Amino acid sequence: MQPWAAGINSLLARTPLDSTDISIHAFNSGSVVLNEFRLHKFLLAARSQYFRNRFHKARTAHSSDPDHGLPKNVQSLHLANTIDARAFETAVKFMYLGETADINNQDVLKSIGRLSRHLELPGLWDVVMASVARDPRKRKQVRLATVDKAQSDVDAFFREYILGRKITVDSPDEARKVRVEQSNESFADVLLLAEEDPLLADGDGDGSEDTPCKGPVTVLYPAHKGMLRSEYFTTMFTSNFLEGRKRHEADALPIVRVDASPAVLELALSFLYSEKTEISLEYALDLLFLADQLLLDRLKQKCSHVICTAPSNEDLPYSIYDIVRAGWLCRVRRLEEFGAKYIADRLENYLSDPELAELVAESAERIKERQV
């Protein structure tokens, strides 16, 4: 399973954090047993135009006429009796993972055909037909295409409804006044706050008191707890602290401050949502520290790779000493080795630098502490 699919698959796993926000019910053909599927609105909306329209229609209709009877925040849906629960289970796996299991029941196949049209998921029928055809080559081609489409859909939703719906304010004090309802158009259940360094907010400023600070200082991002898949966030959201308490529909979304600049947080969110993270050398070191804080080992590896494979003729945007110390603090041995080689290859440039002596002394002290 690809890393992206493994991350999305975690949404279906039973974990201490229940991030689902809608129940969909369906019957098996010829059975009185009602099946319940606990799912995520944001992913259904990202993958199915039908669900996106259905959820947004409820919001807009309620805003224009609160008494029309349609709930603003849809929490449950019942599928028509003509849709078999086994067919919808196949559709769920397709929407979440871009793949399906083998289907041998003709009644279920017919139900899947109707469901793929109803939910506007033509790719679902293509995958099922490739499975029925028993052509390994065709099956592989279709699977790769559908997984790419699933990842692309989630990435497009991320850019439109996460990055595209971010809220910029002038200060953290103003951010605390922001209220986003549970029934928001991003289907988010948490706001992540990132604060820009005021001296860096204006790229043309020199940091002096007479230089006005332009641009956003504090940015709020609507996000989904289910996609913040790290032990750090899971512990936070399942704790007895404020972030973990159960909220009522009338409550505003909680705000969680992240110790990073908006640009760095956006890179981390891109990694969490779609694995499509293009990390520039400029942000790699800051992103490494954030990944370490959030316990995202795969992201730490990507950051260290960007730093250690930088072209030899490119100037590093930060001190080589900071890289070595980052390797120590974040427990990334590759960065330590990269820093040592970098200095060794340019030793004549560093011999007279007093910070090199400090680094060597720190290294010796670390070795001494490990031996005790």
**Which CB contacts under 8 angstroms, 24+ apart, belong to 40-45?**
40/11, 40/187, 40/224, 40/226, 41/74, 41/187, 42/157, 42/161, 42/186, 42/187, 42/188, 42/224, 43/8, 43/11, 43/95, 43/96, 43/154, 44/95, 45/157, 45/187
Token pair, residue 41, equals 């609105």
Strand order across the beta sheet in which 255-257 lies: 167-169, 218-223, 190-195, 255-257
Predicted pLDDT of residue 200 = 60
Give the three-class secondary structure for 38.
Answer: strand
Residue-level pLDDT, tens digit, the chain, 372 residues: 556 566 677 777 767 788 899 999 998 876 777 899 999 999 999 999 999 999 988 877 655 555 544 556 678 898 888 888 999 999 999 999 888 888 888 888 889 999 999 999 989 998 888 887 777 888 888 888 988 899 899 999 999 999 999 999 998 889 989 999 988 999 999 999 999 876 665 544 444 455 444 545 899 999 999 999 899 999 999 888 777 777 777 789 999 999 999 999 999 999 999 887 899 999 999 999 999 999 999 999 999 999 999 887 668 899 999 999 999 999 999 999 999 999 999 898 888 889 998 988 888 888 767 665
Dihedrals φ, ψ of 177, to 5°?
-90, -10
CA end-to-end distance (rounded Å), the chain? 43
Predicted pLDDT of residue 137 = 86
Contact 45, 185 (CB under 8 A): no
